[in-house]
Amino acid sequence: MGLWEGSLALVREFKKLDGERYQLHEEVEARYATFDRDGKGFVQINTYGRADRELPGKLSQSIQLDRQGAEALVAILRKAFALS
């Protein structure tokens, strides 16, 4: 399976949500990996099902960020948490 196939989501940009109601989600396990493909760097973040799920510990969601996506996310985090 190639880098762009399957159920992964490569995120390159983020759009702000407006007018939605937010609630705090339950904590889950997350793991990350970094890798290079064709001379470009990527970060992959996987989240796993909670202990009370039908299949606890099963891969739930997976996203990948390239440099463009990482820069966009860092800008959001800096603004949201007043990071320097």
Domain count, the chain: 1
Q: How confident is the model at residue 81 (pLDDT cuts 50, 70, 90)?
A: very high
73 occurs within a structural domain: yes
Residue 39 amino acid letter: G
Residue 71 amino acid letter: E
Say how many Å lie between the first and final Cα of the chain, rounded: 39
Q: Residue 33's domain spans which residues?
A: 27-81
C-beta separation of 24 from 78 below 8 A: no
CA atoms within 13 A of residue 52's CA, in its CB half-sphere? 2
Task: Examine the pLDDT at 4 and tell me if it is beyond 50.
Answer: no
53 occurs within a structural domain: yes
pLDDT tens-digit series, residues 34-70: 999 999 999 999 999 887 878 778 888 999 999 999 9
Phi, psi of 4 (to 5 degrees): -100, 10
32 occurs within a structural domain: yes
Q: Which residue shows structure tokens 């390159």?
A: 12
Residue 24 amino acid letter: L
